Amino acid sequence: MDKVVGVELSHRFAPIAVRERLALNKEQTTIALQELKKDYEEVFIVSTCNRLSVYAFGKSHNEILSFFDQFGNYRQYLSILPDSEIAIRNLFSTAAGLESQAVGEHQITGQIREALEVGRKEKTIGPVLDELIRQAIHTGKRVRLETNIGKFSASLATVGFELITQHDFKIAETTFLVIGTGNMANLVTTVLDRTKIKKLYIASHDQTRANEMAKEWNGEPVDMENMHQALSEAGVIIGGTQGEINLLHEETMSESKCPRANFALQTGGHKLFIDFGVPRNFNPSLKEDANVTLYDLDDIKKITYDGLLKRYDEIPKARQLVNEELDWFMVWLRNRKVAPVIEAYWNNMEDIKEEELKWLLPKLENADKHTEDLLQRFTHRLLRKISNPTIEGIKRIAQNLHEQDNPINTAKQILDVQGVDIFVPKKKIIVGTRGSKLALTQTNWVIGQLQKIQPDYEFETKIIRTSGDDGDIDVVGAFTSALQRSMLAGEINLAIHSYKDIPTEEVVGLRVVPVTERKDVRDVLISKDGQQLKDLPAGAVIGTGSLRRSAQLKQIRPDLDYKFIQGNVESRIHKMETEGYDAIVLAATGLEKMNMLDIATEIFEIDVMVPAVGQAILGIELIDKAGSILDLVKGLSHEPTKNAADAERAFLIALGGGCNMPIAAYAQATATEITIEGVFATEDGEHYEKDSISGPLDQRKTLARTLAAQLKDKIERKKKVVLSDVTT
Residue 339: pLDDT band (50, 70, 90) is: confident
Under the banding of pLDDT at 50, 70 and 90, the label for residue 599 is very high
Other beta carbons less than 10 A from residue 72's beta carbon: 10
Position 408 in a domain: yes
Query: What is the total count of domains within the chain?
Result: 5
CB contact at 8 A, 675 and 692:
yes
pLDDT in tens, 288-310: 887 889 988 888 777 665 556 66
Query: Are 50 and 137 found together in one domain?
Result: yes
Q: Which of 397, 414, 431 is the last residue of a domain?
A: 414
Asked whether 308 and 392 are in contact (CB, 8 A), the reply is no
Q: Which amino acid is at 518?
A: R
**Cβ atoms of 58 and 88 closer than 8 Å:** no
More confident residue, 47 or 366: 47
From the list 417, 578, 587, 581, the residue with the least C-alpha distance to 498 is 587
Contact 33, 124 (CB under 8 A): yes
Closest CA to 432 of 459, 456, 450: 459
Residues 189 and 235 in one domain: yes
Q: Which domain holds residue 363?
A: 338-414
How many angstroms separate the CA atoms of 366 and 342, rounded?
Answer: 37
pLDDT at 233 over 90: no
Write the pLDDT tens digit of every residue in 482-521. Answer: 888 888 888 899 988 888 878 777 777 787 776 678 989 9
Residue 167 in any domain: the answer is yes
pLDDT at 192 over 90: no
DSSP letter for 22, please: G
The Cα 30–Cα 45 span in angstroms is 9
Backbone angles phi, psi at 43, to 5 degrees: -160, 145
Sheet holding 457-463, edge to edge: 457-463, 427-433, 494-498, 618-622, 511-515
Query: Would you tell me how many other CB atoms lie within 10 Å of the CB of residue 127?
Result: 12
- Say if residue 208 is in the same domain as residue 277: yes
- The answer to whether residue 318 sits within a structural domain is no
Q: Within 10 A of 68 (CB to CB), how many other CB atoms are there?
A: 19
Instruction: Inform me whether the pLDDT recorded for 541 exceeds 50.
Output: yes
Residues 89 and 110 in one domain: yes
Least confident of 66-70, 474-478, 531-535: 474-478
List CB contacts of 162: < 8 A, sequence separation 6 or more.
153, 307
> What is the mean predicted confidence (pLDDT) over 365-391?
84
The rounded radius of gyration (Å) of the Cα atoms in the chain is 32
Nearest to 129 by CA among 56, 65, 205: 56
Q: Do residue 193 and residue 288 come from a single domain?
A: yes
The predicted pLDDT at position 524 comes to 95
pLDDT at residue number 349 = 82
Question: What is the spatial distance between Cα 504 and Cα 612, in angstroms, rounded to a whole number?
Answer: 13
Mean of all residue pLDDT scores within the chain: 83
Higher pLDDT, 275 or 154: 275
Q: For a pLDDT cut of 70, what percent of the chain falls above it?
A: 84
CATH number, position 79: 3.30.460.30
- pTM of the full structure: 0.60
How would residue 426 be classed by pLDDT, with cut points 50, 70 and 90?
confident
Asked if residue 446 is part of any domain, the answer here is no
pLDDT at 253 over 50: no
Residue 53 has a pLDDT of 95
The predicted structure's pLDDT at residue 122: 94
- Amino acid 424: pLDDT: 65
How many whole angstroms separate alpha carbon 319 and alpha carbon 301? 22
Residue 611 forms part of a structural domain: no
User: Any idea which of 189-203, 283-297, 521-535 has the lowest mean pLDDT?
Assistant: 189-203
DSSP states of 242-294 as a string? SS--GGG--S-GGG---TTTTHHHH--S-EEEEE--SS-SS-GGGGGSTTEEE
Same structural domain, 579 and 718: no
Give the Cα separation of 142 and 164 in Å (integer): 33
DSSP string, 663-677: EEEEEEE-SSEEEEE
Distances (CA, A) of 519 to 253, 592, 614, 639: 48, 9, 11, 14
How confident is residue 386, by pLDDT bands cut at 50, 70 and 90?
A: confident
Q: Give the Cα separation of 520 and 282 in Å (integer).
A: 43
Q: How far is residue 25's CA from residue 19's CA, in Å, rounded to a whole number?
A: 13
Q: Is the distance from CB of 19 to CB of 50 less than 8 angstroms?
A: yes
Q: Which residues of 408-434 are buried (b: 16+ CB within 10 A; e: fewer)?
A: beebbeebebeeeeeebbebebbbbbb
- 655 in the same domain as 552: no
Closest by alpha carbon to 199, among 177, 167, 223?
177
For 239-248, 323-332, 341-350, 370-379, which range has the lowest pLDDT when averaged over its residues? 239-248
Last residue of a domain, one of 414, 442, 471: 414
* pLDDT beyond 60 at 316: yes
Q: What's phi and psi for 690, nearest 5 deg?
A: -145, 135
Instruction: Say whether both 182 and 285 belong to one domain.
Output: yes
- CATH number of the domain enclosing 722: 3.30.160.40
Torsional sign, CA 261, 263, 265, 270: negative
The confidence band for 694, taking pLDDT boundaries of 50, 70 and 90, is very high
Choose among 330, 464, 450, 343: nearest CA to 401: 330
559's CB contacts (< 8 A; 6+ apart) are 538, 539
Q: Are residues 291 and 202 in the same domain?
A: yes
Checking if the pLDDT of 680 tops 80, the result is: yes
pLDDT (mean) for 325-337:
85
3-state secondary structure 201-254: EEEECCHHHHHHHHHHCCCEEEECCCCHHHHHHCCEEEECCCCCCHHHCCCCHH
What is d(CA 255, CA 681) in angstroms, rounded to the nearest whole number? Answer: 58
**Mean pLDDT within 314-343:** 85
Taking the C-alpha atoms of residue 516 and residue 504, their distance in angstroms, rounded to an integer, is 20
CATH of the domain at 554: 3.40.190.10
Amino acid 186: pLDDT: 58
658 neighbors 503 (Cβ within 8 angstroms): yes
User: Active site includes 501?
Assistant: yes
Rounded distance between C-alpha atoms, residue 651 and residue 663, angstroms: 9
Q: Do 171 and 141 share a domain, yes or no?
A: no
Give mean pLDDT, residues 49-57.
Answer: 92
Whether the predicted pLDDT of 324 surpasses 90: yes
For 618, the 3-state DSSP assignment is strand
pLDDT tens string 64-101: 999 999 998 898 899 999 989 999 999 999 999 888 87
Residues 350, 287 within the same domain:
no
More confident residue, 521 or 255: 521
pLDDT of residue 390: 77
Task: Enumerate the H helices of 104-220 as residue ranges.
Answer: 107-121, 127-146, 156-166, 183-193, 207-216
Structure confidence at residue 478 as a pLDDT band (50, 70, 90): low
Residue 205 lies in a domain: yes
Stretch among 158-162, 197-201, 473-477, 517-521 having the lowest mean pLDDT:
473-477
Determine the Cα–Cα distance for residues 431 and 495; give it in Å rounded to an integer: 6
Indicate whether 189 and 296 sit together in one domain: yes
Cβ neighbours, 10 Å, residue 449 = 14
* Boundary of a domain, candidates 414, 437, 454: 414
pLDDT band at residue 191 using 50, 70 and 90 as cut-offs = low
- Region of 168 please: left (phi>0), alpha (psi -120 to 50) or beta: left
Residue 580 belongs to some domain of the structure: yes
The helix (H) or strand (E) run that includes residue 645 is: helix 639-654
Q: How confident is the model at residue 401 (pLDDT cuts 50, 70, 90)?
A: low
Lowest mean pLDDT among 236-250, 456-470, 577-591, 654-668: 236-250
Mean pLDDT of all residues in 316-337: 88
Dist CA 154 CA 309 (whole Å):
10
Predicted local distance difference test score (pLDDT) of residue 252: 45
Q: Which of 83, 501, 582, 646 is catalytic?
A: 501
Q: Quick check: is 48 in a domain?
A: yes
Lowest-confidence segment of 357-361, 576-580, 627-631, 668-672 by average pLDDT: 627-631
Residue 152: its pLDDT value, please?
60
Those residues with Cβ within 8 angstroms of residue 339's Cβ, 6 or more apart along the chain or in another chain:
none
